């Protein structure tokens, strides 16, 4: 209950806290988050492929929250895989830098994708995967604060990919 209250308070504060943009080495930040997840999920064997990521103009604390939530979900939802894999990278699509976190985990039915980023919206049973339904809402709020977009593609039992853009990430 305490974690849920903390998460809700953090979500509420995201809309009011000032955005402090600066150049952030996304690759370094992601390496730190992955190291943190490896400590958190000790004993799990997860193959993580981090592509070369660009420097981004963003709030580094908020970008860390985005990657922490997405990478944590990737580790969590690959728990039942003997060959758990996570890929983190970026692509230029139609002149826009699109960042992503992909896993080969539980995935979800795309017919419910519109519910993903709502507070308390969960597409898996709490008995199967822990969580309180606030993480992806936080990701969306941070991305929107940076005038970006966030979306996902998945298939049941075939993994998920979460994509996001940030304002100012249009150059190659």
Confirm whether 62 is domain-assigned.
yes
Ranking 16-25, 53-62, 65-74 by mean pLDDT, the lowest is 16-25
What confidence category does residue 80 fall into, taking pLDDT thresholds of 50, 70 and 90? Answer: confident
What residue numbers bound the domain in which 141 lies?
A: 2-14+21-164
Q: Is residue 73 part of a domain?
A: yes
Cβ–Cβ < 8 Å for 14, 138: yes
- Check which CATH number belongs to the domain holding 60 and give it: 3.30.565.10
The DSSP output letter for 103 is: E
**52 inside domain:** yes
**Do the strands 47-50 and 85-93 form a parallel or antiparallel pair, or are they unpaired?**
parallel
Q: pLDDT tens digit string along 125-160?
A: 444 435 445 678 889 989 998 999 999 999 989 999
16 pLDDT tier (thresholds 50, 70, 90):
low
In a domain, 172, yes or no: no
* Per-residue model confidence (pLDDT) at position 7: 44
> For residue 23, what pLDDT band results from cuts at 50, 70 and 90?
very high
Q: What is the tally of structural domains in the chain?
A: 1
Average pLDDT over residues 6-30: 74
Per-residue pLDDT at 171: 47
Lowest pLDDT segment from 56-65, 140-149, 161-170: 161-170
Residue 89 exposed, middle or buried by CB count within 10 Å (0-12, 13-18, 19+)? middle
Is residue 169 one of the residues assigned to a domain?
A: no
Per the domain annotation, does 170 fall within a domain?
no
Sequential DSSP letters for 104-165: -S----GGGGGGTTSTT--SS-TTTS---S-HHHHHHHHHHHTT--EEEEE-TTS-EEEEE-
């Amino acid at each position: 209950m305490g974690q849920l209250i903390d998460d809700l308070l953090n979500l509420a504060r995201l809309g009011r806290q000032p955005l402090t943009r600066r150049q952030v080495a996304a690759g370094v930040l992601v390496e730190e988050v992955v190291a943190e997840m490896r400590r958190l999920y000790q004993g799990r064997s997860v193959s993580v492929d981090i592509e070369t990521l660009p420097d981004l103009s963003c709030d580094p604390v908020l970008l860390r929250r985005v990657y922490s939530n997405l990478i944590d979900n990737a580790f969590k939802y690959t728990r039942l895989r003997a060959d758990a894999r996570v890929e983190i990278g970026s692509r230029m699509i139609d002149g826009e830098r699109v960042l992503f976190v992909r896993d080969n985990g539980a995935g979800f039915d795309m017919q419910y994708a519109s519910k993903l980023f709502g507070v308390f919206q969960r597409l898996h049973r709490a008995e199967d995967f822990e969580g309180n339904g606030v993480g992806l809402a936080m990701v969306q709020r941070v991305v929107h604060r940076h005038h970006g977009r966030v979306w996902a593609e998945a298939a049941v039992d075939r993994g998920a990919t979460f994509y996001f853009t940030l304002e100012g990430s249009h150059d190659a």
